[in-house]
Amino acid sequence: PQQGGQPRPQQGSRPQQGGQPRPQQGNGLRPNLNQKPAAPRAAAPAAPQQPAAPRKPIEIRQQAPKQKGPKGENNFTAATVTRTTVDMRTSEVNLDKYNERYEQIAPAGNLRDNFAKKQKLNQKSARRGKPVLSRKEREEEKMRRLELERQRRQRLEVALPEEMTVGELALTLKIQASEIIKKLMGLGVMASISDVIDFDTASLVAMEIGAKVTKQVVVTIEDRLFEVEDKEEAQEPRPPIVVVMGHVDHGKTSILDAIRKTSVVSGEAGGITQHIGAYQVQVDGRPITFLDTPGHAAFTSMRARGAQVTDIAVLVVAADDGIMPQTVEAINHAKAAGVSIIVAINKMDKPEANPDRIKQQLTEYELVPEEWGGDTICVPVSAKTGMGLDNLLEMILLVADTMELTANPNRMAKGTVIEAKLDTGRGPVATVLIQTGTLHSGEAVIAGTAVGRVRVMTNDKGQKVEEAGPSCPVEITGLAEVPAAGDIFNAVEDERLARELVEKRRMEQKEEEFKRYQKVTLDNLFEHISEGEVLELPVIVKGDVQGSVEAVRQSLEKLSNEEVRVRVIHGAVGAVSESDVMLANASHAIIVGFNVRPDPTAKANAERDGVEIRLYRIIYDAIEEIEAAMKGMLKPKTEEVELGRAEIRNVYKITGVGAVAGCYVLDGKMVRSANIRVVRDGIIIADDKMASLRRFKDDVKEVAQGYECGITLEKFSDLKNGDIFEAYEIREVKE
């Protein structure tokens, strides 16, 4: 078709100027635009005109003239030709019948109103042949669909985990995430599609849309392997488990040996043939299990691994010596573990024994004897003569009766590894203490990352046994590797699942090693407080004198606020020891030291376990730093870098020079420009600058480990043999 949609003229005719035939108007003059187009003459022999459809454009049909018109007009053949004229002056122009290509694109019905809103063809075709609903019928259909949706959601049952994202909840409930976010906003929770919400919030949203909610139970390998908690009716009384603690040389081992000798059956060949770290004694036909551990170190080590082994702690105090530093440590360890304490006042056979003084000292540590109106049992004993041992055992049974200790013997065994070693002939050997259930020979066991089958089981008397019940210590062989002391062991039925669990634990152990730095330190204390993780900050205080320890304890405890409470769990005089680090690791505490230094073993263990040790010379610095850490304003600017340690072997007095220390470098190196800290018996006595460093007669810049050197200080000269020089320097911390 030509431009403008005009029909092509027949052959032999010439189109009018303007591309459109002009309607004939009577006298042939220019038509009046305000006048309606004239109707065709009735005498025209053209085909009868069809009635126009509604809203169709006006069509004018005209008979071609028979005579030849004047020059410039169209010439037609003698045959009668019908010419169609389309009126372009209206908004409704029917062009579809003259344009076949346009008919292929859209039906003519779409051109009824050019100003009507366009509609998708598929929607129109989809409605073709369907009845048109009234407004009332549409509302009824909408309500019917809403009712069906509500019934569908009521039938929807979902199991939600402990935590999930908003997007996961939307997928579970089969609705849009935007709907979930709207519901959460109504509950006062602002969350995006990727935010994690807890089970309670997710269940409220799910129940609001009509879904039935249950909590998703995640069945782990441990749940499949280990039995669930025992019922009360299955519980039976079990023997108490006792650990003996106290200061060195106060008679712990002597009391244990005396108790063991009284329990040996007369006539037994050789008495007790073997020491396995734990044993049982019979008192009036009732057994008591004693743990023979080296002091409270192993006790705390097991607690650090989550093993609550003991029920009662016997605190041994020498009547002629009184409470000593390790006694205080033992008291704090037992209190932190939450076990009952019985005080055994030993060495009552000595003439200088003074039990009343011991009781007076115990009240300073909140252990008030029963004779003075408290609840702490104090028993005078003598390991040398055997006096009071029977009374001590009776008191242990009395406390055990008040605790109502029970266990279920009719289940798979569960307990704790007390000791473990690698024997040349037998392989890995572990001493285990069964806490509930019964262990049988030949059963598969798992302890930490060790798994295997019990090949040989030996009791504390060296006798082979086939089974062992609650509170019974036995030595077992057959594990694939040596477990760690304090590991929880379980007897299992499926050894294959146990090996899968071991692989999983090994992976978790590797991940745990990378997370050691996430322990609470002063640097990240405020972050943990903000997240609601820290409600209590345990602190261990070590100082050079008792007065400073008490002053620091009181000052730190005054820093407690509504969000976090500072609690000093242990305070003592002396250097930071390995026992302090173990207690800090078990209690997630921070060690604060004043004018003291950690010994090398304690320092290495602190770095390994991620325990923070803060050392100060001024008490106000410690208070300000901890207070700033609680407020989130702690900004460490400098750090102390230890360069080396040297021991003074000889001190020479030289006129005009002063005291020259002949030293042997123990580790690291001594640098001439370094600061020097003088440590005597674990206590800092001076902090000075190095004046000179010589090797033989030569001035040197540094002396490495294993070499001797001569050192003079700028100010301090009261040096003695055995003093330790610690070389260090202060460096700025790059943030």
Whether 483 and 557 map to the same domain: the answer is no
Cβ atoms 728, 641 nearer than 8 A: yes
Whether 395 and 477 map to the same domain: the answer is no
Which of 537, 698, 560, 679 lies closest to 612 in space, CA to CA?
537
How many distinct structural domains can be found in the chain? Answer: 6
> Which of residues 461, 495, 529 is at a domain's end?
495
More confident residue, 246 or 603: 603
Whether 259 and 391 map to the same domain: the answer is yes
> Which of residues 381, 404, 427 is at a domain's end?
404
Give the per-residue pLDDT at 107.
52
Rounded-to-integer distance, Cα 76 and Cα 66, Å: 8
Asked whether residue 198 is assigned to any structural domain, the reply reads: yes
Asked whether residue 229 is assigned to any structural domain, the reply reads: no
Whether 194 and 246 map to the same domain: the answer is no
How much is the mean pLDDT over the chain? 75
Q: 705 is written with which tokens?
A: 């480990």
- Residue 261 predicted with pLDDT over 80: no
Whether 587 and 725 map to the same domain: the answer is no
Of the segments 9-18, 86-95, 350-359, 543-552, which one has the largest average pLDDT value? 350-359
CA 333, distance to chain mean position in Å, is: 26
CATH number at residue 194: 1.10.1660
Which of 144, 148, 168 lies closest to 156 in space, CA to CA?
148
CATH number at residue 523: 3.40.50.10050
How much of the chain, in percent, has pLDDT values that exceed 90? 4
More confident residue, 644 or 216: 644
Which of 524, 733, 539 lies closest to 640 in space, CA to CA?
733
Q: What is the pLDDT of residues 170-211, one digit of tens each?
A: 888 888 888 888 888 888 888 888 888 888 888 888 888 778
Whether 432 and 549 map to the same domain: the answer is no
- Residue 584 predicted with pLDDT over 60: yes
Asked whether residue 369 is assigned to any structural domain, the reply reads: yes
Give the per-residue pLDDT at 4.
47
Cβ atoms 433, 407 nearer than 8 A: no
Whether 652 and 628 map to the same domain: the answer is no
Of the segments 48-52, 244-248, 289-293, 718-722, which one has the largest average pLDDT value? 718-722
Give the per-residue pLDDT at 13.
47
Q: How confident is the model at residue 645 (pLDDT cuts 50, 70, 90)?
A: very high
Whether 248 and 363 map to the same domain: the answer is yes
Asked whether residue 310 is assigned to any structural domain, the reply reads: yes
Of the segments 112-121, 463-472, 523-532, 558-567, which one has the largest average pLDDT value? 463-472
Q: 255 is written with which tokens?
A: 């009391």
- Residue 529 predicted with pLDDT over 70: no
Whether 365 and 253 map to the same domain: the answer is yes
Asked whether residue 290 is assigned to any structural domain, the reply reads: yes
Give the per-residue pLDDT at 203.
87
Whether 15 and 38 map to the same domain: the answer is yes
> Which of residues 614, 636, 658 is at a domain's end?
636
- Hey, is 585 helix, strand or coil? helix
Average pLDDT over residues 105-128: 51
Whether 452 and 319 map to the same domain: the answer is no
Q: What is the pLDDT of residues 688-717, one digit of tens each?
A: 888 889 888 888 888 999 999 999 988 888
Rounded-to-integer distance, Cα 64 and Cα 42, Å: 14
Give the per-residue pLDDT at 633.
44
Asked whether residue 399 is assigned to any structural domain, the reply reads: yes
Structural domain range at position 617: 518-636
Query: What stretch of H or E contains 361?
Result: helix 355-363
- Hey, is 438 helix, strand or coil? strand
CATH number at residue 728: 2.40.30.10
Question: In this predicted structure, which of 39-48, 225-234, 458-467 has the lowest mean pLDDT?
Answer: 39-48
Q: What is the pLDDT of residues 428-466, one digit of tens each?
A: 888 888 888 888 888 888 888 888 888 988 888 888 888
Cβ atoms 719, 651 nearer than 8 A: yes
**For the chain, how many residues are written?**
735
What DSSP designation does 545 have? S
Q: 54 is written with which tokens?
A: 């509604």
Whether 671 and 728 map to the same domain: the answer is yes
Q: What is the pLDDT of residues 207-225, one digit of tens each?
A: 887 788 888 776 665 655 5
Asked whether residue 226 is assigned to any structural domain, the reply reads: no
Give the per-residue pLDDT at 709.
92
Asked whether residue 66 is assigned to any structural domain, the reply reads: yes
